[in-house]
Amino acid sequence: MQPLTPEQSVTLSRWRARALQTTPFYAPILFALRPVNTTVVGSFAVDEKWRLYINFNAIEADPDFTDDMCAQGLIHECGHIVGDHFSRTRDYMGAQHRNVILRKFANIANDIAINDWLAEIGLRELADYGYTSSKMGLPPRQTPEVYYDLLTKNRDDGDDDGAPEVIDGCGQGGGGVDVPGGDLADAVDSGVDPIRQQAVMVSTANAIRTADPKMIGSARGDFLDTITGTIAPKPIPWQRILGAHFRRAAHRVAGNTDVSMQRRNRRRPGFVTPSGTTVILPGYVRHVADVLCIRDTSGSMGEELAEATAQISAIGKQLGIDGDHLRFVDADVDIYSVKRLRAATDLSEISGRGGTDMAQAIVSAVAVTPRPDIIVVMTDGATRWPEHPVGVPVIACLIPAGGYRPHDPPSWIKTVRIAM
């Protein structure tokens, strides 16, 4: 897994420019995909984090891969993204998703739906090269679900032959076998977070709806219905939104490096001044975010509160935020007042402070020592909020209780609506 060389970036720009001539409505996705050069995919593949894997070695060695073919390869991968084939394939395969061989069939089913459409709008190179309904003897213009059923109907499940070292399909983003070496890809590019993905999908859906019908082709029907239908009504699971907010805030904190004499700077080992004094340069220490979670225990959110707590602990652990860095504070709140704020360790007693609601709890939390870098509030939302930023990023997890749908917190607070 490698970042692209400057020459490869130029090549990719050329393919993208060609792709945009025929499918300009894919511009938001084409510019959002994060390219990674690798030899573990056949030619092009995508994953759920929107990494675009390109095997430049294989493509340069194969005369079939003209610029037009590669442009259509990009359009094809956009089809997997816009069709949400990563999640959709999991949905339609169910338990069969664990079977690597059947996932290859799912990848083919998804490919047929895309390539039939490419052929209809006149992008024949890739359609001639890849799977289409006519080549497979299947009816045209069906959904991936139908093709998957038809492809696997008279077939026994086969043996799961384990994850291969090199894949020939479009990766997990195409609903196929995972691209090997996700950790290595993370080191090259961490991908696109779910919130940004959703924004790009909405832009793309709007571009498709308003595009010139001739550019979309006569196949506007089934396939585009699927595209727009997939994008519009589907909410992102709250765990992913919470995770994205949490990670973003934590990374921002971790990016603030502290200068410390406790660690010498290894790159610049120090020097001796003309007067003979040895100067040792300080090193940089990565700062782990301190997170304080306020749990509003006043509402009727028993199970949901436990689930949200478990999620936050899990995400924290992934980010190396645990132990003393992840503190939980219970706030018992009646309608008007914070009764008390409890912490396991270093929280001073605040009962009798005269606070009125979660707004007061947040202000109190900012004053806790050590001062938190991120505050997460779990509440049913029946509360007042601080109107203005408190100097610490706040993430509000609104947990529904008793059918009550709370108003949004002020816009400076990142809000996650938790649906169970």
Q: Which residues contact Zn ion (rule: CB under 5 A)?
A: 111, 170, 174
Interatomic CA distance for residues 81 and 75, integer angstroms: 10
| Cβ-based nearer residue to Zn ion, 48 or 111 | 111
Helix residue ranges, H only, 47-84: 56-61, 67-82
| Cβ-based nearer residue to Zn ion, 170 or 394 | 170
Least distance from Zn ion to the Cβ atom of residue 200, Å:
19
SS3 category, 159: coil
Residue nearest to Zn ion (CB): 170
Total length of the chain: 420
Of 259, 167, 198, nearest in space to 29 by CA: 198
Interatomic CA distance for residues 296 and 332, integer angstroms: 6
| Cβ-based nearer residue to Zn ion, 115 or 383 | 115
| Cβ-based nearer residue to Zn ion, 174 or 355 | 174
Least distance from Zn ion to the Cβ atom of residue 35, Å:
16
Helix residue ranges, H only, 94-193: 100-120, 124-129, 144-152, 182-188
CB 265 within 8 A of CB 281: yes
| Cβ-based nearer residue to Zn ion, 42 or 182 | 42
Least distance from Zn ion to the Cβ atom of residue 121, Å:
16
Least distance from Zn ion to the Cβ atom of residue 340, Å:
57
Least distance from Zn ion to the Cβ atom of residue 174, Å:
4
| Cβ-based nearer residue to Zn ion, 76 or 295 | 76
* Longest Cα–Cα distance in the chain: 86
- b/e map of 146-181 (b: 16 or more CB within 10 Å)? bbbebbbeeeeeeeeeeeeeebebbbbbbbbbbbbb
Interatomic CA distance for residues 331 and 380, integer angstroms: 12
Burial of 374 (0-12, 13-18, 19+ CB in 10 A): buried
Least distance from Zn ion to the Cβ atom of residue 167, Å:
11
Least distance from Zn ion to the Cβ atom of residue 411, Å:
39
| Cβ-based nearer residue to Zn ion, 144 or 174 | 174
